[in-house]
Amino acid sequence: MSMNSQGRPTRAVADAAKDAAPTLTGNRALQIEEPLIFEFGHFSGAGVDLPEPRGEVAPGERDRLGGLGRAGDIGLPGLSEPEAMRHFVRLSQKNYAIDMGPFPLGSCTMKHNPRLNEKMARLPGFADLHPLTPQVAAQGALELIDTLAWWLKELTGMPAVAMSPKAGAHGELCGMMSIRAAIDARGEGDTRTRVLAPESAHGTNPATAVQCGFKVEGIPADASGRVDLEAFRAKLGPDIAGIMVTNPNTCGLFERDIRSIADAVHEAGGYFYCDGANFNAIAGKVRPGDLGVDAMHINLHKTFSTPHGGGGPGSGPTVLSAALAPYAPIPHVVVEDGVYHLVETRRAAKAEGGDSVESFGRLTAFHGQMGMFVRALSYMMSHGVDGVRQAAEDAVLNANYVLARLKTEMTAAFDGYCMHEALFDDRFLKGTGVETIDFAKAMIDEGYHPMTMYFPLVVHGAMLIEPTESESRRELDLFCDALLSLARRAKAGEVDGFKAAPVFAPRRRLDETAAARKPVLRWTPPAPRQAAE
Ligand SMILES: *Cc1c(COP(=O)(O)O)cnc(C)c1O
């Protein structure tokens, strides 16, 4: 018996996999094999008692289904209540979660979600409020939206914010639709057709610009991983609608020339969209409004906890400059004599005369993601402005700690310090036969969710690690030890182990490309088995 690096008795990975006899059930201790719900559910099973249907339509009685009544079984998998509970609990235990361990996905800001947020979001006055509740009876909720809006404007130094976008990408759409409306209002809709975006941009940036009818042109990165200023200036012209820049960028670096970039775009008559998904690195330190930003979405579900929306919806409020505020979407909250109400139509917005006088319209039903608003405000108020600033500083400190430790065996993509995430490329794997994907799969056997892989596209075989501020030194050390040991094993020629990984996961390697390109969305019953001859 050998000891693992934490001094606990263990067996080497290869032995354990080799020696393990298959079990009759397919289960491996607490790792329970679980079939698809369709494979074991049966139409006759049910978790509820329903009254017997009254039967056929009596002669002379009107068929209220207009003849559309079902002729046969619906084919849904019926389960008893305990069967349903076990099925979903077993599936959930195959999942990885931020509450189980570090989740180093770069750009996703997978930080701890304080339980206080959940307690606040579950207060019945917020959780059970129907979106059609009369506004007089929803004053607390409207005040909460307004207070959160105030914090967002304060933190960003921007005069207006649209609260309704329901994710980062939706916030981008909000910002780019505002830019489109402003350009159309200037009568330049046909001439200002180009949007610039760095080649390291998140895929949603170019997708959004195209959705709003613009042509997108990439700007290359310079040797330091930032926007190449010369290349950028060369692309400016009277047909520029705007630029979309992420800051800190997706290489985890602060764009130092951001003011000159903003000024140059403004001089050319365009607008500056900033992708604010990485606001976690600078909240409380830098106000995007001071950098010349015209529009920026804030991923509440990254910067202000509840990563990935807690598996549910996210929220992407978009702050707007004075130039774009008139085009903001409806609805928005206003307060008069201490009473809150929602401006819900374009006509009302025009009459009201504030932000959104020339509103481009509505982005979504109702008012935005109320549950996320409550969580984000709870996070902000419990941290206070000093706490928000410290969270940003600690996020940067943690990322630099990881960068400093890992670059002894792995290759940092760029020189110098990073912001909130550390970017590596695959040069350290050169000649080993191990690729970025194999490295990531081997991390799963060590019990880690892999980092963001192959993004950003500007470095080869990218591995982007964002530890966030909520990991302790102890967690970071164990994580770094695991990655350093993998890097050494790769260099020592253990390529077969990497190609076989993951060996401890319930499933080995899946064809992820085929799953994305040709998803099988419908389950078809297997052909009946041939009787043995
Ligand atoms: C997460 C992210 C987005 C998109 O946000 P969603 O809420 O996932 O739509 C856009 N840009 C960057 C840089 C991101 O990290």
Centroid of ligand 1 to alpha carbon of 169 (angstroms)? 6
CB 451 within 8 A of CB 106: yes
For residue 531, give the DSSP letter: P
How much is the pLDDT for 84? 93
Q: What whole-number distance in Å separates Cα of residue 310 and Cα of residue 108?
A: 12
How much is the pLDDT for 527? 75
Task: Evaluate whether residue 108 is within a structural domain.
Answer: no
Q: What whole-number distance in Å separates Cα of residue 325 and Cα of residue 159?
A: 8
Mutate to test the pocket of ligand 1, among 275, 296, 419 (most ligand atoms within 8 A of CB): 275
Distance of CA 404 to the CA centre of its chain: 26
User: Which residues on neighbouring strands pair with residue 387, listed in sequence order?
Assistant: none
Mutate to test the pocket of ligand 1, among 110, 173, 202 (most ligand atoms within 8 A of CB): 202
Residues 320 and 405 in one domain: no
Centroid of ligand 1 to alpha carbon of 168 (angstroms)? 5
Among protein residues, the one whose CA lies closest to atom 7 of ligand 1? 168
Task: Evaluate whether residue 134 is within a structural domain.
Answer: yes
Task: Evaluate whether residue 327 is within a structural domain.
Answer: yes
Residues 418 and 317 in one domain: no
How much is the pLDDT for 31? 83
Question: What is the span of the domain harbouring residue 485?
Answer: 385-512
What phi and psi values does residue 159 have, to the nearest 5 degrees?
-80, -20
Among protein residues, the one whose CA lies closest to atom 6 of ligand 1? 168
Centroid of ligand 1 to alpha carbon of 353 (angstroms)? 32
Residues 393 and 371 in one domain: no
Task: Evaluate whether residue 69 is within a structural domain.
Answer: no
Mutate to test the pocket of ligand 1, among 103, 105, 107 (most ligand atoms within 8 A of CB): 107
CATH of the domain at 281: 3.40.640.10
Centroid of ligand 1 to alpha carbon of 157 (angstroms)? 21
Mutate to test the pocket of ligand 1, among 250, 299, 372, 451 (most ligand atoms within 8 A of CB): 299
Centroid of ligand 1 to alpha carbon of 202 (angstroms)? 7
How much is the pLDDT for 45? 77
Could you identify the residue written with the tokens 């799969």?
A: 441
Task: Evaluate whether residue 254 is within a structural domain.
Answer: yes
Residues 196 and 321 in one domain: yes
> How many CB atoms sit inside 10 A of residue 37's CB?
17
Among protein residues, the one whose CA lies closest to atom 5 of ligand 1? 168
User: Which residues on neighbouring strands pair with residue 221, listed in sequence order?
Assistant: 227
Q: Which pTM was predicted?
A: 0.90
Residues 264 and 347 in one domain: yes
Centroid of ligand 1 to alpha carbon of 20 (angstroms)? 42
Task: Evaluate whether residue 409 is within a structural domain.
Answer: yes
Task: Evaluate whether residue 340 is within a structural domain.
Answer: yes
User: Cα dist. 329→211, 356, 357, 454 in Å?
Assistant: 17, 6, 10, 35
For ligand 1, residues with CB inside 6 Å are: 107, 167-169, 202, 204, 246, 250, 275, 277, 299, 314, 316
How much is the pLDDT for 18? 57
Among protein residues, the one whose CA lies closest to atom 15 of ligand 1? 107
Centroid of ligand 1 to alpha carbon of 343 (angstroms)? 28
Among protein residues, the one whose CA lies closest to atom 2 of ligand 1? 277
Asked which of 354, 378, 402 is the last residue of a domain, the reply is 378
For residue 5, give the DSSP letter: T
CB 468 within 8 A of CB 280: yes
Q: How many domains does the chain have?
A: 2
Residues 394 and 255 in one domain: no
Asked which of 378, 397, 418 is the last residue of a domain, the reply is 378
Q: What whole-number distance in Å separates Cα of residue 181 and Cα of residue 324?
A: 9
How much is the pLDDT for 8? 67
Mutate to test the pocket of ligand 1, among 204, 372, 457 (most ligand atoms within 8 A of CB): 204
Q: What whole-number distance in Å separates Cα of residue 413 and Cα of residue 392?
A: 22
* CB-based burial label for 178 (10 Å; 0-12, 13-18, 19+): buried
**SS3 letters for 355-380?**
CCCCCCCECCCCCCCHHHHHHHHHHH
Centroid of ligand 1 to alpha carbon of 525 (angstroms)? 38
Residues 361 and 391 in one domain: no
Residues 442 and 496 in one domain: yes
Task: Evaluate whether residue 532 is within a structural domain.
Answer: no
Residues 171 and 288 in one domain: yes
Q: What whole-number distance in Å separates Cα of residue 466 and Cα of residue 463?
A: 10
CATH of the domain at 431: 3.90.1150.10
How much is the pLDDT for 10? 63
How much is the pLDDT for 11? 58
Asked which of 378, 400, 432 is the last residue of a domain, the reply is 378
| Minimum-distance ligand 1 atom for the alpha carbon of 201 | 13
Closest CA to 465 of 490, 473, 456, 474: 456
Per-block mean pLDDT, blocks of 10 residues, the chain (533 long): 64 57 84 88 80 75 81 84 93 90 95 96 94 95 97 98 96 98 97 96 96 97 95 97 96 96 98 97 97 98 89 90 97 95 93 90 93 97 96 98 98 97 98 97 96 95 97 97 98 97 90 91 76 51
b/e for 114-140, b at 16 or more Cβ within 10 A? Answer: beebbebbeeeebeeeeeeeeeeebee
Residues 456 and 325 in one domain: no
Q: What whole-number distance in Å separates Cα of residue 105 and Cα of residue 277?
A: 13
Residues 407 and 267 in one domain: no
Pull the structure tokens for residue 118.
């959940």
Residues 209 and 293 in one domain: yes
Centroid of ligand 1 to alpha carbon of 108 (angstroms)? 7
